[in-house]
Amino acid sequence: MIAKYFSLAILLLTLMPSLNAQTITGNVRDASGPLPGATVLEKGTQNGTQTDFDGNFTIEVSDSNAILVISYIGYATQESSLNGRNDLSIVLAEDAQSLDEVVIIGYGQTQNKRLVTTAVATVKSETIKQLPISQAEAALQGTIPGVVVQQNSGSPGSPQTVRVRGIGTPNNSNPLFIVDGIQVPNLSFLNPNDIVSQTVLKDAASTAIYGSRGGNGVILVETLKGQKRDMKPQVSINTFYGVQSLFNKPNLMNRDQYLQYYNQGVEAVNGNTAPGFRGAFTDAERALLPDTDWYDVVFDDALIQNVYGSVVGGTDILSYSLSGGFFDQEGILGGEGKSEFNRRNIRASLSIDLTDKITLDASAQYQFSERFTIPQNTGGAGVGISSFINALPPIYPAFDEEGNFFNPFINGGTPVANGVPINSLGAVTNPLFSIAISNNEATQDATNLNLSLNYDLTDNLRFRGWYGAFSNFIFNRSFTPLLVQPEQQFNTSPFVNYTEIKSRQQNRQWGGTIEYDFGRFLNQDHNLNVLLGYEAVETTFIGGDIINDTGSFLTNDFDKVNFALSEDITDATVVPGTTFPRNIESFFGKIDYNFKEKYLFSAVLRRDNSSSFGPDNRVGWFPAVSAGWVISEEEFLTDSKAINLLKLRGAWGISGNDQSSSPFAYAATVNTQTSYAGQPGIALTSLSNPVLGWEELTQFNVGLDINALDNKLGITLDYYIKETSDILLGATTPLTSGLNPAIENTGSVENRGFEVLVSYRENYESGFGWNIGANLGLNKNEVTDLGETSFIPGAQLTPQFNDFATRTQVGDPIASFYGFVVEGVDAQGNLIFADLDDSGNNQLSPDDGDKAIIGDPNPDATVGLTLGMNYKGFDLSAFMSGTLGNDIFDATIRYDALGTNRPAAYITEPGAPRNIVVSASPNGEQLISDFHVQDGSYLKMKNVSLGYSLPEEVIDRLGLKRLRLYVSGQNLFVLTNYNGIDPEIGQNNTGSPLNIGIDQGFFPQARQFILGLNIDF
């Protein structure tokens, strides 16, 4: 009997755990879709399972309040308390500090992050999708140290200027862009939502495999693809709608301040005003005059909207994706049809296993975009809209009594505002009139096709071949319509014209690689991978005819106007276009070796043969080596609980830049329109250079990677020296030859810098998590040699100064500001300039010998700050970026024009230059000097976003995987000493780095408030 009761007790004890046991089902996914093979473990036990191909799992736990630990390589481990639930939906976030993160390194190769020996950095889709950007390059701003992204304008659709580790040449410093393995001119054709990652190759050891094209850095873009597993189609919809507005205005004089300043100017010349200018204003006249704030008149709120959808899916042997989107942004200056950008795109990809050894990948994309622009950042008469806004005094109304545009210039007469005669200003016009007659449109039809075939010849030997084609058809139109308002003397009939320019850029690329992975050998301690490849790239720019008709048209509607509506087509002129081909053929090889994943080594060698250079110098060799030591794998650190990764790496390499010259720069040029004794002939205009070659960039890099505190803390440090040699410049040609200079390889530029990237994250059992990141990039740029060239002038500013504002010379940074140095102001208020050459000249009228470097538009440092928090469905993120140590040349004030407006500080603060508002006698303001140079450092709140994801039980009832609502704000505030409208000033000419940091009236970036929605089915 005792034995019976004892057996019963044992049975009950055995069954008691099962009484509390519970079967749990769930799904594990990331932002893109399910995660097969994720580990699900009951915390504190060995009880666990893995997810299937759909990310689903089933596990039996001992307690309904157990905690599940979910982990997956490359993702942050997550804990989930059951709290009585039996069905879970888990979304894992990528782990920025993961030791096993895979990094794209080019030509179909990827590498474990801990084994990378070069300077490589990546921005993932999670970061990109937080920013409502129209251009993909903007996602790199402030996120990667050493990468400077400058928005050339706040105008919708404005291109971005990207610089990797400084400006390496006074010619073209643009990086190489590779999308899914295919070279493209830029990323403007991409929808940012289609981007999975952007990887920047920064040092020569990582870019040398791209040879002559990689010297300015390489940006590798990976786009959306499906996943090969048996999964249901995953549908995602992302949309937002927002309002934009002007967030800052310069402090210019208002009506009362301007009239006080004007009357003081009249008094200063004892009433002897310049011809045509009136005397002082009375108080009675002041009361009648308007107080026009031209920024309020011209700028207006504008809309921005985006709709994007994607479908990804797959089976065991194929994967696919399909996506499309629409983006529209109106400008806060000009608005719809004047300043606007809209883009429509569709993209598809397919990967299919033809056999168990052969895989075919294909992708195709089409994009159509329209961009309407108005003239900006110019002081030129008739087109400088932003200049007019700053220059036109507030006493001029926007419209007259009849609703016509008020004209500040009446030829042979006097403008009258509310019965008060005011001065006739010939140098500026009503900006509303200028906008009305400004019509500029650029449309782009871009297609990108990509095919690749992967053949696993053996378990270790793989062949990959590819073919890609990119085409971009660009159609530019401009139209000055007929606008006649006799009461205000507005009549554009002499200036009516319509212009069309059609061009096309085509890239074709094909090649192949063969890769052998020796795997582990010699007691499993050694790893070796060898890659050999061939590639050919054909790039052709087809410049179409420029057709211009200066006659009258049967319509004034820009949407309808064309040459068929010309009243006299015989007025039209045609300038033939030019075709520029550029071909390159390459062979390359790469070796990656490591011993016990502790000692790392990599070597690259590439041979390029280019049609762009002289027949005697078309072949270039580009070697690179790099090594790394994973110190954390040494015995003295393997048991460390604080250090997860400690890696020291060093690299040296040579790469090139083949974009600094036209394809035929090596050839002699002739003029076919020459005549001799009345007979047509041909004349030589410049000499050839058969040995013209690449600009060459040699770079040394040493870096340190640290992951610590259970991978919560990540630190990356890099120091580099980058020297550009054989820069393409004009040779010195005797004036007696009558020839233009030939192009030759001469000159050098050095960039030295230090980069820091720090991040930290923390997650708590309560469900609260936070992360913070900061990056700093220091760079010093110096021209070390210009050959026979003394200096290179740049940025000619007209009509304000009629002089060059920048000079590139040995010993100083590229495009440094160059002008006179102001020592002070004399008793009469004239600027006193330093006599730097001790010539004894009048310091009120300096000569060229008194000019010097007066500023540097290149930042000493770029900074980026990120902050993120999440708690029970809520998420908050913030992002700031800025620059330190750069200068801005303020050319927004029309010192050359009498009667124009001035900064309010001229009347509210002491020390202003002599009042010349009605005097033709100069006071020094009209000269390029450091009087106009300001500190351009800034820190801008680029983005703040607050989101809420509906809880699982709610979205399950709705049949959804995720539903997130969010609000965000962009450009909320800026900390700066610059008194202009926006310190974030880019490059005025996208083809040349010699005109940067000069504000002639930039289109400012808008403040945006956005409401968005993310839905996953």
pLDDT at 590 over 60: yes
Can you give the pLDDT at residue 262?
A: 97
Model pLDDT for residues 624-663, shown as the tens digit of each residue: 999 999 999 999 998 888 999 999 999 999 999 888 777 8
- Quote helix, strand, coil % in the chain, to nearest 5: 10, 50, 40
Can you give the pLDDT at residue 33?
A: 59
The rounded Cα 560 to chain-centroid distance in angstroms is: 34
Model pLDDT for residues 957-975, shown as the tens digit of each residue: 888 989 999 999 999 999 9
Can you give the pLDDT at residue 19?
A: 46
Q: List Cα–Cα distances, 35 to 54, 57, 145, 956, 960, in angstroms.
A: 7, 11, 31, 19, 17
Can you give the pLDDT at residue 545?
A: 84
Can you give the pLDDT at residue 2?
A: 46
Residue 355: exposed, middle, or buried by beta-carbon count in 10 A (0-12, 13-18, 19+)? exposed
Of residues 1008 and 579, more confidence is placed in 1008
Name the pLDDT band for 706 (thresholds 50, 70, 90): very high
Read off the DSSP letter of residue 732.
Answer: P
Q: What percent of the chain has pLDDT over 90?
A: 65
Name the pLDDT band for 10 (thresholds 50, 70, 90): very low
Residues 6+ positions from 152 with CB-CB distance below 8 Å: 158, 159, 160, 161, 986, 987, 988, 990
- 2-91 maps to which CATH number? 2.60.40.1120
Can you give the pLDDT at residue 688?
A: 86
- On whether the CB atoms of residues 348 and 366 are closer than 8 A, the answer is no
Name the pLDDT band for 227 (thresholds 50, 70, 90): confident
Can you give the pLDDT at residue 370?
A: 97
Can you give the pLDDT at residue 73?
A: 57
Can you give the pLDDT at residue 7?
A: 47
Can you give the pLDDT at residue 127?
A: 81
- On whether the CB atoms of residues 469 and 180 are closer than 8 A, the answer is no
pLDDT at 918 over 50: yes
Q: How far apart are the first and last CA of the chain?
A: 62
Q: Which residue has the tokens 């076919």?
A: 672
Q: Return mean pLDDT, the chain.
A: 90
Average of per-residue pLDDT across 488-503: 95
3-state secondary structure of 541: strand
Can you give the pLDDT at residue 480?
A: 96
The torsion region of residue 337 among left (phi > 0), alpha (psi -120 to 50) and beta comes to left
Can you give the pLDDT at residue 519?
A: 75
The rounded Cα 486 to chain-centroid distance in angstroms is: 45
Of residues 401 and 45, more confidence is placed in 401
The rounded Cα 667 to chain-centroid distance in angstroms is: 34
pLDDT at 15 over 50: no
Cross-strand partners of 748: 725, 785
Name the pLDDT band for 47 (thresholds 50, 70, 90): confident
* pTM (2 d.p.): 0.88
Q: Is the peptide bond before 486 cis (omega within 30 degrees of 0)?
A: no
- On whether the CB atoms of residues 819 and 804 are closer than 8 A, the answer is no
pLDDT at 530 over 90: yes
How many CB atoms neighbour CB 436 within 10 A? 16
3-state secondary structure of 259: helix
Beta 218-223 vs 176-179: how paired, if at all? parallel
Can you give the pLDDT at residue 95?
A: 60
Can you give the pLDDT at residue 520?
A: 66
Q: Where are the domains of the chain?
A: 2-91
Can you give the pLDDT at residue 12?
A: 41
Model pLDDT for residues 979-990, shown as the tens digit of each residue: 999 999 878 765
Average of per-residue pLDDT across 921-942: 96
The rounded Cα 353 to chain-centroid distance in angstroms is: 37
Cross-strand partners of 735: none
Name the pLDDT band for 665 (thresholds 50, 70, 90): confident
Of residues 393 and 519, more confidence is placed in 393
Can you give the pLDDT at residue 9?
A: 45
Beta 358-372 vs 440-456: how paired, if at all? antiparallel
Q: In whole angstroms, what is the distance from residue 274 CA to residue 281 CA?
A: 16
Q: In whole angstroms, what is the distance from residue 809 CA to residue 961 CA?
A: 60
Average of per-residue pLDDT across 247-257: 95
Model pLDDT for residues 784-825, shown as the tens digit of each residue: 999 888 999 998 888 889 999 999 999 999 999 999 999 999
Residues 6+ positions from 919 with CB-CB distance below 8 Å: 265, 268, 269, 273, 274, 898
Can you give the pLDDT at residue 991?
A: 59
- On whether the CB atoms of residues 540 and 562 are closer than 8 A, the answer is no
Closest CA to 785 of 726, 698, 699, 858: 726
pLDDT at 71 over 90: no
Q: What percent of the chain has pLDDT over 70?
A: 94
Can you give the pLDDT at residue 97?
A: 47
**Residue 790: phi, psi to the nearest 5?**
-70, -45
Assigned token pair, 284: 């009675």
Of residues 718 and 15, more confidence is placed in 718
- On whether the CB atoms of residues 93 and 30 are closer than 8 A, the answer is yes
Name the pLDDT band for 54 (thresholds 50, 70, 90): low
Most confident of 18-27, 41-50, 761-770: 761-770
Q: In whole angstroms, what is the distance from residue 175 CA to residue 215 CA?
A: 8
Model pLDDT for residues 289-318, shown as the tens digit of each residue: 999 999 999 999 999 999 999 999 998 899
Closest CA to 248 of 1006, 926, 1012, 1015: 1006
pLDDT at 5 over 60: no
Q: Which residue has the tokens 């890769």?
A: 515
Assigned token pair, 786: 């210009």
Q: In whole angstroms, what is the distance from residue 807 CA to residue 792 CA?
A: 6
Can you give the pLDDT at residue 735?
A: 65
Assigned token pair, 247: 């967030």
Name the pLDDT band for 381 (thresholds 50, 70, 90): very low
